[in-house]
Amino acid sequence: MVPCRTAASQAASQHELRGSTTMWKKTAWISFTLCSTVALFGCSAQTQPPAPATAPVSPGQPAELSKDPVTVRFFASGGMFSDEEFTRYIVDPVKKKYPQITVERVNPSAKLPDLIAAGETLDIVGNYPGPMGSNLADNKMIFNMEPLMKKYNFDTSRFSNEALETLKIAGGQSYLAGLPAYTNTFALFYNKDIFDKFGVPYPKDGIYWDEVVEIAKKFNRSDNGVLYRGIFPDGIGRIQQQLSIPFADFGANKSLLSNEQWREAFQTWGTLFKMPQLTEGDFKVPNAGKNQTAFVDGTLAMIASHSNLLNSLKKAPQLNWDMVTYPQHRKSPGIGQRMDSPILSITEQSKVKDAAFLVLDTLLSNEVQADMTRNGRLTVLKDDKVKSEFGKGLADFNGKNLSVMTKLKFAVMTPFKYLPDGDVDKVLTKSFNAYIVDEKDLNTALREADEDMNRLIQEKLNLKK
């Protein structure tokens, strides 16, 4: 049973209800006096700011929001939603369904710590899975959204089990502290003209990484002064995510980077880089931006990338390309990348939590999700009918094999706990990048990564004391 609200919280809520009808007053008073025995409204022992009033709830029926005007302040970066997308998928659908709710976008180019320091009120914040938990915890924003899901009959079974598990791991809690807006999705893009030039058969759906290596070896050569390269698979973090390899034992607070899983990961991913001419010049260090440019410029045969690359390909109509399923690992067939979604969380500080939840509920409706999916933002729902809409609104890509981006299952996220994902990535990248250009042998690279990870763990633990 959930503990009751404090007297201060009750008084605030009663004050909010003044001016309503006599019947509403009676219903509201009964709900408060029964709070010690009934957890219907998710009472809390902590003082909570009052949420917008909701109409009385019949058993099994979702609550209804008050008709009083309410503004929900929403912070998500421009990379998560362009201004056009924010209006199309959030502002307009919410206003249509709930005329009393106004969604106000907080400066998308700002940084979360700066907004908090400036005293900005944020009702919904967006994070990617890696930094989500630490961002919410460090700023005391974590809020359990599950009581609101129950209150409004939100069906979490519409998500896959892998997605739900990743959401909880990302939030660092046993409950859901956020919901996904959409997911970037992955594929192996390839340049048909380069394949034709060198007489290499096109890759096929269902391809594995070891097959990608063999195809890539047929490129990596200069021709008429132009250096052609075979593959860019992205950094070492991608195989970690695909295979859900843990990098730390958080019970013992020790690094795991010296174990056999990581040895195999470095070796497997290393074969995608340790080829003559593949990592020379500007490409000595793996860099997604430079390699995306190389692909669009027509000098890179294959790139394992995500749906955001489609934005660049729109601007390159001269490029003769297509895609196949994201390469799989033999140990995890059928698994692609983890869910790469903006996860939207209602903040603990929000005073309009009910309205904020209904904003997210609207965004996750089949209607809005289908519209997003049609325009290249893949739904996080497991509904095949919605998923089948992927890319149908992108006229520039008619005839492309876009449906492959919907085929593989999500990998499950690895817990980060108190370690910022950016810091973990720096440790892995430093050692892996030295290994692939033969600055360090495998044993040295792994040993140094393990030492760096242990130092990072101790540094973060000391800060928590």
pLDDT at 218: 96
Q: Is position 398 within any domain? A: no
Same domain, 188 and 333: yes
Answer yes or no: is pLDDT of 45 > 50.
no
Q: Is position 407 within any domain? A: no
Q: Is position 435 within any domain? A: yes
Confidence band for 134, pLDDT divided at 50, 70 and 90: confident
Same domain, 97 and 223: no
Strand partners, 21: none
pLDDT at 464: 79
Collapsing DSSP states into helix, strand and coil, what is residue 283? helix
pLDDT at 31: 39
Same domain, 373 and 279: no
Q: Is position 200 within any domain? A: yes
Same domain, 219 and 305: yes
pLDDT at 280: 83
Q: Is position 361 within any domain? A: yes
Same domain, 208 and 285: yes
Q: What's the domain count of the chain?
A: 4
Mean pLDDT of 33-37: 38
Q: Is position 264 within any domain? A: no
| Helices 129-138 and 161-171, packing angle to 10 deg | 40
Answer yes or no: is pLDDT of 461 > 90.
yes
- Rounded CA-CA distance 254/237 in Å is 19
pLDDT at 64: 85
Q: For residue 152, give the CATH number of its domain.
A: 3.40.190.10
- Rounded CA-CA distance 376/378 in Å is 6
Same domain, 242 and 361: no
Q: Which two tokens stand for residue 432?
A: 């892996």
Of 320, 337, 354, which residue sits at a domain end? 337
Q: Is position 408 within any domain? A: no
Same domain, 224 and 248: no
pLDDT at 62: 66
Q: If you average pLDDT over every residue of the chain, what do you get?
A: 88
Answer yes or no: is pLDDT of 2 > 60.
no
Range from 156-160, 176-180, 257-261, 274-278 carrying the lowest mean pLDDT: 274-278
Residue 306 dihedral angles phi and psi, to the nearest 5°: -115, 180
Strand partners, 223: 226
Answer yes or no: is pLDDT of 442 > 60.
yes
Residue 376 lies in domain: 63-183+341-387
Same domain, 113 and 178: yes
Pick the closest to residue 74 from 44, 101, 36 (CA basis). 101
Mean pLDDT of 260-284: 93
List, for residues 13-22, the tens digit of each pLDDT value.
333 333 334 3
Confidence band for 61, pLDDT divided at 50, 70 and 90: low
Which ranges constitute the DSSP H helices of 47-101?
83-86, 92-97
Confidence band for 160, pLDDT divided at 50, 70 and 90: very high
Confidence band for 465, pLDDT divided at 50, 70 and 90: confident
- Rounded CA-CA distance 142/177 in Å is 6
Of 305, 321, 337, which residue sits at a domain end? 337
Contact of 82 with 112, CB cutoff 8 Å: no
Q: Is position 401 within any domain? A: no
Answer yes or no: is pLDDT of 397 > 70.
yes
Same domain, 349 and 281: no
List, for residues 316-373, the tens digit of each pLDDT value.
999 999 999 999 999 999 999 999 999 999 999 999 999 999 999 999 999 999 999 9
Same domain, 166 and 288: no
Same domain, 115 and 163: yes
pLDDT at 412: 94
Look up residue 317 and give its amino acid: P
Same domain, 67 and 153: yes
Answer yes or no: is pLDDT of 458 > 90.
yes
Confidence band for 114, pLDDT divided at 50, 70 and 90: very high
Q: Percent of the chain at pLDDT above 70?
A: 87
Q: Which residues, other chains included, contact 36 with Cβ-Cβ below 8 Å and sequence gap of 6+?
A: 4
State pTM to two decimals: 0.84
Range from 36-50, 64-78, 155-169, 383-397 carrying the lowest mean pLDDT: 36-50
